[in-house]
Amino acid sequence: MSKLQIWVLLILCNLFWAGNYVFGKYVIAEITPYWITLFRWALALFLLYPVARQLESPIDWMAVKKDWFLLTCMGVLGVIGYNIVLYSALAYTTATNAALVSAINPGLIVVFSVILFKERVSGLQWLGVSISLVGALVVLTGGDFTRILTAQYNVGDLLMVIAVLIWTFYTIIAKKLSTPPITATTVSTAIAVLLMFPFAMFQELDTGKIGMLAITGILYMVVFPSVGSFIFWNMAVRDVGASKAGVFLNLMPVFTAMISVMLGEHITSAQWIGGLLVFGGVYLTTGLLERKSAVLQET
C-alpha cells in the first residue's frame, strides 16, 4: 500500500473508534458490557467472514493454524478484554476522561515495541509522539493543563488504564502474524465469540430496557468500529509497524471533538490548536520529514 492509503486507513480507524466512545456511553445505560461486546462481535462475524473470503481468497488456513496461539491472544485481548473493560469504564467515568487516559496509548505502544521487539524509533519520531500527546491533552483539557492534576480519577479511569495496556499488547501482537489481516481479524473474533458464549447465560440481560438508541449504537459498533476499524488497523500495522500506527490513536480525541460539534457543540480555539498539534505529531512519527531530508541530501 502507498503511504497515503495507510494514512487514510489509520484516520478512518480513529474516526470510527471516536464514534464508539460516544455511542458506548449511551448504550452502556441499557446493556451490560458483556452483552455489548458479545452482540457487537457476534454480529460483526457475519460481515467479517464474507469480506475475508472476498478480499483474501483463498483463506490461508495453514497460516491460521501456525498463528493459532497469537490469534487466540488477539481474540482474548482485543475483542473480549479491551471491549469489556472499555464499556465498564464508560459506566463509571465520562467519555472525556476515558479519552484522556487513552491518549497515553501511542506512547506505550512505542515503548513496548522498542523494549520487546527492538523496533527502531528515531529521535524525530519520539518528538512526534510527544507533540501528538500534548495536542490530545490540549483538546481534552481546553488548553488548561491544570485540569489534568485536578481530575477525579475514579474506578472508570483506572479501568481505562487497564484497557490501554490491553490494546497496547493487542497492537504489538498483530504485527507478528503471518495470517492476512482481514482473516486474522475474522478468526480472532470467532475465537472470542466462541469463548464468550458459554458464559452468556450467567450475564444479566433486561430486554425491556433496550431501546432504539441502544440498537442503533450496537449496529454502528458492528459496521464501523468492529469491522471497518479492526480490518483497517491490522492492515496498517502490518505495513508501518505498531509504533508508527500507534501515534494515530491521538487522533481519536480530535475526532471526538468533531463529533461533538456535529451534535451541536462549538469548537474552541484549544481544539483547533490541539488538532494541529496532533496532526503535526503524526507527520513526524510517520518519518515523512526524515525521508524528505534524505532525498534532498541525495540530490
What residue segments make up the domains of the chain, in order of their start? 3-121+153-245
Mean pLDDT, all residues of the chain:
82
pLDDT band at 153 (very low <50, low <70, confident <90, very high): low
pLDDT band at 96 (very low <50, low <70, confident <90, very high): low
Tallying the residues shown for the chain, one arrives at 299
Chain centroid to CA 254: how far? 14
10/148: higher pLDDT: 10
pLDDT band at 188 (very low <50, low <70, confident <90, very high): very high
pLDDT band at 196 (very low <50, low <70, confident <90, very high): very high
pLDDT band at 287 (very low <50, low <70, confident <90, very high): low
* Of 74-83, 103-112, 232-241, 287-296, highest mean pLDDT: 74-83
Q: Among 5-19, 79-93, 142-156, which stretch is predicted with the lowest mean pLDDT? A: 142-156
DSSP 194-244: HHHHHHHTTS---GGG--HHHHHHHHHHIIIIIIIIHHHHHHHHHHH-HHH
pLDDT value of residue 102: 76
What's the whole-model pTM score? 0.77
pLDDT at 163 over 90: yes
Cell of 134: 500534548
DSSP 129-174: HHHHHHHHHHHHHTT-THHHHH----HHHHHHHHHHHHHHHHHHHH
pLDDT at 296 over 50: no
CA–CA dist 256, 21 (Å, integer): 8
